[in-house]
Chains A and B, each alone.
Chain A
Amino acid sequence: EAGVAQSPRYKIIEKRQSVAFWCNPISGHATLYWYQQILGQGPKLLIQFQNNGVVDDSQLPKDRFSAERLKGVDSTLKIQPAKLEDSAVYLCASSLEASYNEQFFGPGTRLTVL
C-alpha cells in the first residue's frame, strides 16, 4: 500500500512570495490533515478535511493560508504572502475516517522563508 505522498520535499522562498504544497493521501482515506511543525516543536493541526469538506480550520491563519481538497482526494495548501515565521515542515496525514485512530503521515515539505 502506497503511503501519503507530498511534494515538493523542500522549498526556499523569499518573504512576501507565494508557495503551494501538494498532498496525495492513501487511497480510500476520507480524512486528510495538514500540520505545521516548527523546528523544535511538535506538529500543530492547521486544517482537517472530511472528503472535500472542512471539519476544523480553527488554527489556520486564514489571512494568508488557504487549503482545498476539491475532489475529495488530493489537497493543496497555499501560503500567500509568506512570512519569516512560516518557516517549518508542513506535514500531510490521512486516516480512513475522522474517527479512526491512526493517522498516517507523509514525509513533509520543509519550507524556508528568507
Chain B
Amino acid sequence: GEDVEQSLFLSVREGDSSVINCTYTDSSSTYLYWYKQEPGAGLQLLTYIFSNMDMKQDQRLTVLLNKKDKHLSLRIADTQTGDSAIYFCAEKPGYGGATNKLIFGTGTLLAVQP
C-alpha cells in the first residue's frame, strides 16, 4: 500500500537546525520529494532525491534517505523565520507507466521562534 507519515509540528529557534522526518511504506518508490507550503500559497518544490541515493545537499538543505527503514529526513541549517511553513514529504510510486502521481504526507508545520 501507499502511505506517507510525518509528525505534525516542529518548533525551533532562529539559527538552530531543523530536522523534519517522514516515513513511507511503498518500497518501489522511485523519487522522494520535499515541498514547502506557505499560507495561502501553492506548493513549492524544495528538493528531491532518487531512491538509490543516501544523501543530497543543496545549500542549507540536506536530505537523508534510509531506504531499508523507508525513512526520509530534511535538515534545514541555520533556520530563519522565513522558513516557517508547512513541509510536505511526497513519494512517487514505482509502478511505471505514464502516471506521475505523487503520494503526499500530512505535512509538518515548522514554527521558527525569533
A-to-B contact residues, CB < 8 Å: 4, 31, 33, 40-45, 48, 50, 55-56, 91, 93, 95, 98-108
* Chain B residues packing against A (C-beta within 8 Å): 4, 31, 35, 40-45, 48, 88, 90, 92, 98-102, 104-107
- A-B pairs with beta carbons under 8 A, tally: 60
Residue contact A48 to B99, C-beta cutoff 8 Å: yes
- Contact B88 A42, beta carbon cutoff 8 Å: yes
Task: Tell which of A95, A98, A103 touches B99, judged by Cβ atoms closer than 8 Å.
Answer: A98
A108 engages B42 (CB within 8 Å):
yes
Residue in chain B with minimal CB distance to A33:
B100
Given the complex, which residues of B lie within 8 Å of A42, measured CB to CB? 4, 88, 90, 104-107
* Cα distance, A38 to B109, chains bound together (Å): 15
Q: In the bound complex, do residue B106 and residue A107 qualify as a contact, i.e. CB atoms below 8 Å apart?
A: no
Q: Which of A4, A48, A104, A105 has a CB less than 8 Å from the CB of B100? A: A48
A48 to B97, CA, bound (A): 13
